[in-house]
Structure 1
Amino acid sequence: MTQQSEQAWCLTVLTNAVITWTSEYYAMAVGRLRAAGRDIPDELLTHISPAHSENVNFFGTIIVDVEAELAKLDEHGLRPLRGFGFE
């Protein structure tokens, strides 16, 4: 396998991970909003795509304080939701 092919496969894995992560958190947010009494029609959700990358830094060096990030996780190992009054 060439380096170019390996890079393409890595980008595919990264893309799939971002989409999966985003989908899970969209589902959590919708569940919490609905539990709080907000009307969120399923038809509206068909127009939302988890294939965005605003939350991904594709360039440069990423420095992560692992201990601080781990401290933010809830009892299920999930990050807290942000926005829509979830803070």
Structure 2
Amino acid sequence: MIDGFKRALALGAATVALAGGTVLSSVGIASATPSHHGDHTATRHVDRGRCHMVRGHWTRVWRPAWRDRHGVRHGGHWVRVWHRERLVCHHRR
């Protein structure tokens, strides 16, 4: 009888801990997701005379040769990298 009570108590505690972890992880995920897309708060309060948007563009970047964790050598190669659109401001001095 005592062993059954201990087993039920341990199972209940494990269930409560697991449920609590699930609730906390879902709250963490919900707070980490963005509230809306297309947030342009950085572009709202700028002087349009000195700032402009630079279009996105591709660049080629050289990735040098390297060895992986198994000692296999991988040769260097060119990779295309996309640079997204951004706001550029020129400040007076």
Give yes or no for TM over 0.5. no
- Structure with more of its chain in strand, by fraction: 2
When the two structures are superposed, what TM-score results if normalisation uses the length of structure 2?
0.34
- Structure with more of its chain in helix, by fraction: 1
State which structure, 1 or 2, has the greater radius of gyration over its C-alpha atoms.
2
